Structure 1
Amino acid sequence: MPDRPLQIVFLDRETIPARTDLRGLSFPHELTLYGRTAKNLVAERIAQADIVITNKAPIDQAALANAPRLKLIAVAATGTDVIDVKACHTRGVVVSNVRGYATRTVPEHVFALIFALRRSISAYRDSVKAGRWHESQQFCYFDYPIRDLAGSTLGIIGDGVLGQAVAGIGRALNMHVIFAGRKGAGKEGALYTPFEKMLGDSDIISLHCPLNAQTRNMIDEAEFAQMERKPLLINTARGGLVNEAALGRALRSGQISGAGFDVTSPEPPDMQHPLMQLLDLPNFILTPHVAWASQEAIQGLANQLMDNIEAFYRGAPNNVV
């Protein structure tokens, strides 16, 4: 390490709530905080940095070329798709991420969406506000469907820690849980249900896989057409996993019974985005990428982020990508 305070730059501090405690570091350093950083400002802001912290601010090959002192990129998230990891490896820059902090908050959000949609919570709440209960002139009314979860089939795409945690909650609710095999892989065996069969057999489908070239638009027109049981579709993973225009058509035509999304592509969506055009539907819920954002999870993320930087300084980096 150089014989001077290390220069640390946090490119998008506003991606972590101000109330979150970013504890101090044990070694000499100077920390520069930016609330957010546009792509065209990244290279300038990291030019003299030894360590960069980023959540969503992108760091590409051109920015790396302008940062000769850079030794560590500490990602304040799990996903590293905003980083040119290959270029980092070539230049000897360590990339670390944060892992396992959302194993409670994301599954809980998944089931919040499932319960709200399966029992038409938002639709009933809005109709009460509009005066429908008063107009009904009786103790209740039945404008929207209500379905139990027990006995239904939950199809999960992605068998990592989040998919497994969602499966555990589903089993506790007496749901039949199946994990989808790789798309197009055919017969999978005892542990995985073929992707196409999962589409046809599931009452609820929840996505928990990364976004890459193989999974982009994994759910599209053809996949919606195979959803024989008109399932709910839940996406707390990445917006690009689903063709969002096709989702709108599937919802409005009744190919699926509802959808709960916490992600879009891009983020934030503009007002003309396909998912923003669905907000009038009683069976669609869109939340602003907050499934990960319980107070407990965010503090755990912040603690692990600082742990990663300390470990790098000691010469034993954690969570290297």
Structure 2
Amino acid sequence: MKPRVYIARSLPEEVLTYLEDHCEIRKWEGEDSITSEHLAQEVGDAEGLLVTGTPVTEAILNAGVNIRVISNLSVGYNNLDVTALKARGIVGTHTPYVLDETVADLAFALLLSTARRVAELDQFVKAGKWQKGQDSELFGVDVHHARLGIIGMGRIGEAIARRAKLGFNMDVVYYNRNRKPDVEQRLGLKYCPFEELLQTSDFVLLMTPLTPQTRHLMDEPQFSLMKKSAIFINVSRGETVNEGALVQALQNNQIYGAGLDVYEQEPVDVNHPLLKLSNVVTLPHLGSATPVTRLNMAKVAAQNLVYALKGGSPVHVIPELQS
């Protein structure tokens, strides 16, 4: 008998076909993303769940008494209560590696577009404001040979650092919970204490996972340490930043600008002050959003689910749940 699974998001046809070959599936048919409340109602007798972003709450776990595996279609897994999964003996998986280079591309796109005011000046030209003789008021800042400080040197951080070093001759420093001498040697990076990184970097790029320790890692004291000419980039998780403090730093010209792909509340309210600032580039949380990468992520998530349900060892078990 095939294991029963519930798919809480849309998937490419070839991935659905793979799952149907190995599992008895039910799936969410709503047009909007499934909520935790709906998932608790839908889970039924499923032994496996495939989710993206939807918080898997105690109510869902209590309703899904047969759940053995939860496959999260994301590298991040802060939507899962890892402690609750561990207590129940539920396998939790995620999809690292396949999105590293794609997210690094987006991070660098944000860095460049913020530095050179690409989004702002695109609207400037389209609004018919460009006139002969305009010059210094349209200036941006150089990226090449500037100092990039990366907070969080995981795989994506390494991919960003490689682009910075090889493509733009940047001076790259990093702060990480654990120092990485092998990465320093391989990429020519320098380790830098957190406060020193903030004080000396021309670009501060946040690339940490969301944990209790990293929530509001960037707050008023941290923004106050940054150069007035510095640019802040966040492609990690929105809750790693106190957005009120970021807005204040931008409005008071404590920092030059910001490029954001993630936010404390998503989608962002149209009246959020960040959306009113011309020195902020805002993207709709699409770090891994290319067809090839999303397809590969879906394949990995499906394989994780099937392997675990059939008693195998999925490659991408969430670190805290690895035995």
Give TM class, smaller chain: 0.7 to 0.9
Deviates further, 33-42 or 213-222: 33-42
Name the TM-score, length of structure 1 as normaliser.
0.88
CA contact (8 A) 2:6 2:48 kept: yes
Measured after TM superposition, the shift of residue 314 of structure 1 is 3.5
Instruction: Give the CA deviation at 1:237.
Output: 0.6
* Deviations 1:121-162, CA, capped at 9 Å, x for gaps: 1222222122222xx235x63322222212100000001001
Shift of 1:191: 4.9
Q: Is the 8 A contact 1:203 1:229 kept in 2?
A: no
CA contact (8 A) 1:240 1:265 kept: yes
Is the 8 Å Cα contact of residues 73 and 93 (structure 1) preserved in structure 2? Answer: yes
Q: How far apart are the structure 1 equivalents of 2:3 and 2:203?
A: 49
Q: 1:186 maps to which residue? A: none
Q: How does 1:62-101 map to 2 (within 5 A)?
A: 62-101=59-98
- Select the structure with the greater relative contact order (CA < 8 A; seq sep ≥ 6): 2
| C-alpha distance in structure 2 between counterparts of 1:106 and 1:113, whole Å | 11
The 1-side partners of 2:197 and 2:135 are apart by 34
In 1: Cα distance, 2:120 partner to 2:2 partner: 56
Q: Pick which of 149-158 and 309-318 moved more.
A: 309-318
* Equivalent residue number for residue 171 of structure 1: 165
Matched, 1:199 2:195: no
Deviation at 1:6, TM superposition (A): 2.2
Distance 1:20 1:265, change over 3 A: farther
Amino acid paired to 2:161:
A
Query: Shift of residue 181 of structure 1?
Result: 4.5
Cα distance change on mapping 1:37 and 1:109 into 2, 3 Å: same
- Post-superposition Cα deviations, 1:75-134, rounded to whole Å, max 9, x if no partner, equal 11122211122222222221111111211111111111111111121222222122222x
SS in 1 for 2:26: strand
Contact 2:74 2:94 in 1 (8 A): yes
User: 1:202, 1:229 within 8 Å by CA — same for their partners in 2?
Assistant: no
Once the 2 structures are TM-superposed, how far is the Cα of residue 34 of structure 1 from its aligned partner? 3.7
Identity of aligned residues (%): 30
Mean Cα deviation higher: 62-71 or 213-222: 62-71
Q: Write the distance in 1 (CA, Å) between the matches of 2:299 and 2:256.
A: 40
Residues 225-273 of structure 1, C-alpha deviations (whole Å, 9 max, x = no match) = 111353110001111111101111111111111100000112112234x
The correspondence of residues 275-286 of structure 1 with structure 2, limited to 5 A, is 276-286=272-282
Q: Which of 27, 51, 56 pairs up with 1:32?
A: 27
Unaligned 5+ segments in structure 2 are 179-183, 319-323
The within-5 A match list for 1:100-249 is 100-133=97-130, 136-138=131-133, 141-172=135-166, 173-182=168-177, 191-249=190-248
CA distance in 2, matches of 1:9, 1:216: 31
Contact (CA 8 Å) 1:182, 1:194: kept in 2 or not?
Answer: no
- Give the counterpart letter for 2:151 in structure 1: I
Q: In the alignment, residue 313 of structure 1 is paired with which amino acid? A: L
Contact 2:231/2:255 (8 A) holds in 1: yes
The 3 A distance-change label for structure 1 pair 125 and 209 is same
CA distance in 1, matches of 2:276, 2:265: 21
CA 34–78 in structure 1, closer or farther in 2 if over 3 Å, else same: farther
How far apart in 2 are the matches of 1:23 and 1:116? 40
Moved over 3 A (4+): 18-23
Q: How many residues align?
A: 304
Offset of 1:312 from its aligned partner?
1.5
Judging changes above 3 Å, is the alpha-carbon distance between structure 1 residues 21 and 66 closer, same or farther for their aligned structure 2 residues? closer
How far residue 65 of structure 1 moved from its aligned partner, in angstroms, is 1.9
What's 1:309 paired with?
305
| Structure ranking higher in helix proportion | 2
Change (3 A) 1:20 1:142: farther
User: SS in structure 2 opposite 1:143?
Assistant: helix
- Indicate if the aligned counterparts of 2:201 and 2:230 stay in contact, CA closer than 8 A: yes
Structure 2 letter corresponding to 1:104? E
Q: Does 226-235 or 169-178 show the bigger shift?
A: 226-235
Deviations 1:264-316 (A, max 9, x none): 112112234xxx32323321111110011111210110111121123223422
